[in-house]
Amino acid sequence: MISVQNLTKYYGPTLAVDNVSFEIEKGTVVGFLGPNGAGKSTTVRIITCYLSPSSGSVTVDNNDIMTESLEIRKKIGYLPESAPLYPEMNVVDYIKFMREMRRGSTSPNGKRIKEVLDICGLGGVVGKRIGELSKGYRQRVGLAQALVHDPEILILDEPTVGLDPNQIIEIRNLIKELGREKTVILCSHILPEVEATCNRVLIISEGSIVADGTPDELQTSFEGKTKISVQIKGNIDTLDEKLLRLEGIERIVNSKPLGSDILEIDLEAVKDIDPRESIFNLCVENKSILMEMKREQTSLEDIFRKLTRKDM
């Protein structure tokens, strides 16, 4: 659906995007991540035909951004971080206006407008001026203008900014639902949101793509030793020694008693070996009670920091 090949963008002598290439299939929800100044917004603006590249090529549904930009704009719904709103207009008139602008129609489809207003939870404020709305409702209006022409591609830059927790969950679910039929690029600094919503992640740093894969693939590739924390009750005197004899257990990081007969132990295991079943069986054989066991996984936030921090 989107093909970016050897994309480069200079602002004067400053290199903002450095030979970036990636492809996005239809029906994919992609989290596009990067620190401020990494080239994320520039890349998105080129895809939406707002900026032209210094070199390289971008096609959207086989349309070239340099020669068929109007066709591409019809296919894209774009919500920038600062939504393009007219505060003096009321909500429904603004959404009608945006549909006419996008589709070139003087008689907008009232059914579609009602659908979008319902999807975005704007039914109670349709007659209000946008300038009178809360930040959360203005964000919903911005999302509605991106959806009103039923685009094949959605590019959403921080779509949940200003929303309360219930609204955030609603928008996340909406993005997942839209991703079944549409191609979605989600730009966000809220990494748990990306983990909950996206089935692919692109990370850009200093103008270059530094990671590309599903959240699980990225976690697997960046995990070092497996870290496991357990709490075991009963017969704990020689438990440390027995755990160290299990296959894959490399070392005990920490072992401390919690009362007289409960031991909390933090373990490190070899990366490709999962010792949790062996730990459970050991507790059974030792006539101990396994109170708790959890495996620590590398979070998307950990990966992001490793790839984008200049001092690491």
Tens digit of each residue's pLDDT (9 = 90 or more) over 271-301 = 778 899 999 999 999 999 999 999 887 778 8
The model's pLDDT over 18-52, given as tens digits with 9 standing for 90+, comes to 999 999 998 899 999 988 889 998 999 999 999 99
Q: 79: which strand partners?
A: 156
Length of the chain: 312
For 224-296, CATH number? 3.30.70.260
Domain with CATH 3.40.50.300 in the chain: 2-221
- pLDDT at residue 312 in the model: 46
CATH class of the structural domain 2-221: alpha beta
Q: Which two tokens mark 12?
A: 């004067």
Place of tokens 């070092």: 224
The model's pLDDT over 48-91, given as tens digits with 9 standing for 90+, comes to 999 999 999 999 999 999 999 999 998 999 998 878 899 999 99
Q: Which amino acid is at 37?
A: G
How many Å apart are CA 211 and CA 307, to the nearest integer? 8
Output 193 or 150, whichever has higher pLDDT.
Answer: 150
Residue 219 has pLDDT above 80, yes or no: no
- Residue 211: band (very low, low, confident or very high) from pLDDT cuts 50, 70, 90: very high
Residue 103 has pLDDT above 80, yes or no: no
Residue 104 has pLDDT above 80, yes or no: no
* Closest C-alpha among 222, 216, 223, 220 to residue 198: 216
Mean pLDDT to the nearest integer, 217-235: 84
How many Å apart are CA 97 and CA 20, to the nearest integer? 36
Q: Which two tokens mark 50?
A: 């707002």
Mean pLDDT to the nearest integer, 148-168: 85
Domain with CATH 3.30.70.260 in the chain: 224-296
Q: Which amino acid is at 274?
A: D
The separation between the first and the last C-alpha atoms of the chain, rounded to the nearest angstrom, is: 35
